[in-house]
Amino acid sequence: MSLIKKVAPFIVMSGLMVAGNAVAQTQGTTVTFEALIRAASCDVSSTTEGSRIDWGTFTSADVASKNVGDKLGEDKTFNLELTNCSAALAADGTINLYARGNKSNFNAEMFANPTARSLAVKLLATSKNVLIVPNVETGLKLGTAIVQGGNATIPMTAGLYLTTGKVDRDELKVPVTFTVAYN
């Protein structure tokens, strides 16, 4: 019996095992379940038109003279509107703002989509410009009381920043989900 006839069944079997593993690895999915229990919370909406902030288009020439960490365009301001608050909060109380979204691959304190190579958004809250870090609960003093069933406003500022050196093209599109809790 030739060597090929002796080895052929093992080659076929090993090929089937590798192919079977490859197929099995691509047929699954991951589901992430999340929930929180807090003493009190509010519904959150945004005053931005269509819940979208657009800095427009910059050309390579626009950013050629910029350095890493430089701001592009003007800051954009908007408010997070809190409504249907489930409990009262004194004016000197702390409300916790959580902003869920992708952090930049180049600056963990900014938001960016995973494929962004040079652009990221920095978020600041209240008139004191408290940095809102991706996926971290941040305590804020609003300076106004919240009544049960009432509402409040969190002033926000968004800045667009260059996070890496020279880039010919890039696209930033990062959703951020805001929630609040207190007490």
Mean pLDDT value of segment 54-83: 91
Q: What is the DSSP string of the chain?
A: --HHHHHHHHHHHHHHHHHHHHHHHHS-----------SEE-EEEE-SGGG--------HHHHHT--TT-EEEEEEEEEEEEES-SS-B-TT-EEEEEEESPBPSS-TTSB--TT-SSEEEEEEETTTTEEE-TT-EEEEE-SS-B-TT--EEEEEEEEEEE-SS--S--------EEEEEE-
Distance CA 138, CA 171 (A): 28
Per residue in 134-176, pLDDT (tens digit) is 999 999 999 899 999 999 999 999 999 999 877 778 999 999 9
Mean pLDDT value of segment 57-73: 89
Q: Residue 179: its pLDDT value, please?
A: 92
Indicate whether 15 pLDDT > 60: no
Does this model's pTM top 0.85? My answer is no
The percent of residues in the chain predicted with pLDDT above 70, rounded, is 83
